[in-house]
Amino acid sequence: MIDAVTLLQELVRIPSPNLPGDTQAIAAYIAGVMREAGCAVKVLAPESKPEAQSVVATLGQGAPVIMLHAHIDTVPIAADEAQRWHVDPYSAVIENGKLYGKGSIDDKAPLATMMAVILEKSSEYRVLSTEGEQEPSPPAPHQFLSQAQSIDSPQGEGSKTKMSGTLVLVAAAEEETGGVLGTKWLAESGHLPMSDFIVVGEQTYNHVATAHKGVMRATVRATGRSVHATNPDRGVNAITAMARAVLALEAYHNELAKRPHPMVGVPTCNVGVIHGGSTANAVPDSCVVYLDRRMVPGENPATVQDEMCAVIAGVDAGAATLSIGEFQTSNWFESTAVSDLAQTFLACVEAELHEHPGPIGYMPGSDAKHLVGVVRGEMIIFGPGSYEVAHAFDEHVDVKEFESTVNILRAFVAKAI
């Protein structure tokens, strides 16, 4: 049986950058591995982007339903980034206890641990005949194990137990571009089962996160009147008007610091991009800025949008006009960790790490926000490493930390299923 580190190396060696978001090669590999393990496997993609393939693999039947979710796309390698890698980004080389590669931490490390644990679970048990025959036989592909079936346990000679419950692996496309054609499409199209507990694989240093921020993007435009710069007072300077708007947005950002969330900190407003004018000897008649407003759990996106509109409406733009629009929202996520399954998971983390397991907040976003409609219990974010290593040159995962992730997931699945 393939081990977790080898699985990770194989996944890293299959490029899956997004853009363009073609995940057919990596989806085929995952589907093949999971089918061979006896899982029921579906390879799925929306009609609007058929190359954005996701994989849903199921082992077992009945409650509880445990979903293990990770995404299979990565960010692309930027031109300046490519020159800074000290190894081939798709070589999955291990040096000094670190496995290097694009997507190694985000998000193929969590995916490899989930796959490995399901493979172990599949091979760990052997189905007995209904007549009580003691000679076991392996489960056939796509065969489910029902609660009524007895299965041989590896824990001691002749010991028997019953495997009850369902493991669902979701290897999703499109997360790096918002998840709309990946996890969101899978959930809304009915391809994902209602689950009692969901683990979303992301970078939490193997602690348990139960919240992350959302984001609202917006565009502010200033319109003026262009004239020759010899006599600029005859015109209306759009950049000057936008400067006042930027200062108002900075004041708004400072006010947001008074609204802390216990898990993820404070909401923020950032002016990320500004464009204006065409030449120094003309009064600019247009200027545009692009905003990033981070929302903490509990904030109403409609209220946040109204606040941003009010900030711009309150700016004295003189003869220029200011407008804000083109809002795009990616929601926040928040859960709890009080159920038996969540407490079991926390205990497994603490037993492995010998430190407080959480819950904590996760600063970036994740596909968890798209899964709230398919969880009847709780959902956590969990995985090795830090998001600060992702999306950069020499991305890597610490192999020992990665192995701890496997140990934690293995222990949890053994207790839950």
pLDDT at residue number 162? 57
Phi then psi for 140, rounded to 5 degrees?
-75, 155
Rounded CA-CA distance 257/246 in Å is: 17
Give me 102's structure tokens.
């694009």
Q: Average pLDDT of 274-300?
A: 98
Rounded CA-CA distance 58/168 in Å is: 5
CB of 387 closer than 8 Å to CB of 397: no
| DSSP letter string, 317-363 | -TTSEEEEEEEEEE--EE----SHHHHHHHHHHHHHHSS----EEES
CB of 72 closer than 8 Å to CB of 173: yes
Rounded CA-CA distance 76/391 in Å is: 8
* 184 pLDDT tier (thresholds 50, 70, 90): very high
Q: Average pLDDT of 365-372?
A: 97
Rounded CA-CA distance 63/195 in Å is: 9
Beta bridge partners of 223: 286, 321
pLDDT in tens, 296-324: 999 999 999 999 999 999 999 999 999 99
What is the phi-psi region of residue 385: left when phi exceeds 0, alpha when psi lies from -120 to 50, beta otherwise? left
Please give the model's pTM, rounded to 2 decimal places: 0.87
Please name which of 361, 281, 290, 283 lies closest in space to residue 318, comparing C-alpha atoms.
283
Map out the domains of the chain with their CATH numbers: 4-212+332-416 (3.40.630.10), 214-330 (3.30.70.360)
pLDDT in tens, 342-351: 999 999 999 9
